[in-house]
């Protein structure tokens, strides 16, 4: 008989096996849906779910590097929705999307009291209606959970969500140098500092880069604030598909 008050913890998923299976089949994002579905509504079985907004996000909202010029916000790879809920509570008009239908339905149930536009979307195939549509773009730990083959395209797409004057806040794990990033066994796959230049390529300018000292592995979670300059609407993708090769020189 279960002891009163004792919550049985679901066995953590074998993330490595799921990642290997999907990456081996050429599907870099396919492992998220089975992971969420296998969690069976138990957030403890989702390795990254903290059930609270990321502290870098709350801290940014308390003391913004740049004040967004409007209230339209989007959360990329929203997972179980805590960052989206925080934005909605602070008065933003929030769109939140994730590639996993189970995550999106779960987030919607958790925050049914909040007026948030929840969507199932792949950041690698965004509909035109979302491009350039937001004053504030929040990306927390999505790019670092994607393998290198699609990362440039994901960062470029994230940048293109921002309207002119739109502000983009990125929270991601960054290595102190490229060799560390290259040797890193993910997920998450730590980003090389040079990779972040893709956001510039998508038309953004960097306003701030904030981070603690690197850890003993030579990595740190950074918060970068970017902005799309006024009068520069996002145009076509500057990054190609798999391989992240520049297609416009
Ligand atoms: C490491 S989790 C982080 C979730 C959430 N941002 C957080 O910090 O708790 C990465 C999230 O990105 C989502 N994701 C991965 N690839 C995606 C894609 N191509 N488009 C949209 N979401 C994606 C995953 O389903 C997952 O919810």
Cα gap 143→122, rounded to integer Å: 12
**Ranges of the chain with pLDDT below 50:** 1-9, 239-249
Q: Do 223 and 171 form a contact (C-beta atoms < 8 A)?
A: yes
| Whole-number pLDDT of residue 15 | 87
H/E run at residue 219: strand 219-227
Which residues form the pocket of ligand 1, taking CB atoms under 6 Å from any ligand atom? 29, 32, 48-49, 54, 77-79, 98-100, 103, 122-124, 140-142, 145-146
**Could you report the per-residue pLDDT of 197-228, keeping only the tens digit for each?**
999 999 999 999 999 999 999 999 999 999 99
Query: Token digits for 127?
Result: 């509909």
| Whole-number pLDDT of residue 162 | 97
| Whole-number pLDDT of residue 240 | 41
**Phi, psi for residue 216 in degrees, rounded to 5:** -70, -15
Residue 23 has a CB neighbour count (10 Å cut-off) of 16
Cα gap 242→235, rounded to integer Å: 20
Looking at the CA of residue 50, tell me the nearest atom of ligand 1: 9
The domain locations on the chain are 48-227
- Tell me the C-alpha to C-alpha distance, in Å, between residue 24 and each of 4, 11, 118, 123, 185: 44, 24, 30, 21, 15
Residue owning the nearest CA to atom 16 of ligand 1: 29
Measured between its terminal Cα atoms, the distance across the chain in Å is 66
Angle subtended at Cα 112 by Cα 108 and Cα 115, rounded to the nearest 5 degrees: 90
**Which of 77, 160, 171, 172 maximizes ligand 1 atoms within 8 Å of its Cβ, making it the mutation to test the pocket?**
77
| Whole-number pLDDT of residue 192 | 94
| Whole-number pLDDT of residue 186 | 83
| Whole-number pLDDT of residue 1 | 34
Query: Token digits for 181?
Result: 């990033």
Task: Provide the pairing of β-strand 116-120 with 93-98.
Answer: parallel
Looking at the CA of residue 33, tell me the nearest atom of ligand 1: 25
Cα gap 174→194, rounded to integer Å: 10
| Whole-number pLDDT of residue 211 | 94
Instruction: Name the fold adopted by 48-227.
Output: Rossmann fold (3.40.50)
| Whole-number pLDDT of residue 241 | 36
| Whole-number pLDDT of residue 12 | 55
| Whole-number pLDDT of residue 243 | 32
């Amino acid at each position: 008989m279960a002891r009163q008050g004792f919550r049985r913890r679901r066995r953590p998923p074998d993330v490595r096996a799921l990642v290997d299976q999907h990456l081996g089949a050429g599907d870099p994002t396919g492992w998220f849906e089975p992971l969420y579905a296998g969690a069976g509504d138990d957030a403890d079985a989702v390795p990254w779910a903290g059930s609270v907004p990321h502290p870098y996000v709350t801290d940014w909202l308390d003391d913004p590097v740049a004040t967004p010029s409007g209230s339209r916000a989007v959360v990329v790879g929203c997972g179980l929705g805590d960052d989206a809920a925080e934005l909605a509570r602070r008065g933003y008009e929030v769109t939140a999307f994730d590639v996993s239908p189970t995550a999106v339905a779960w987030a919607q149930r958790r925050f049914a009291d909040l007026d948030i536009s929840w969507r199932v979307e792949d950041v690698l195939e965004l509909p035109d209606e979302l491009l350039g549509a937001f004053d504030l773009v929040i990306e927390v730990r999505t790019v670092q959970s994607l393998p290198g083959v699609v990362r440039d395209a994901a960062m470029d797409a994230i940048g293109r969500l921002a309207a002119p004057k739109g502000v983009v806040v990125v929270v991601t794990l960054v290595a102190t140098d490229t060799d560390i990033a290259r040797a890193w066994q993910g997920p998450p796959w730590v980003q090389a500092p040079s990779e972040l230049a893709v956001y510039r390529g998508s038309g953004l300018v960097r306003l701030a880069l904030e981070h603690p000292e690197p850890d003993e592995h030579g990595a740190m979670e950074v918060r970068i604030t970017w902005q799309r300059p006024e009068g520069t609407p996002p145009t076509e993708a500057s990054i190609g598909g798999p391989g992240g090769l520049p297609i416009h020189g």
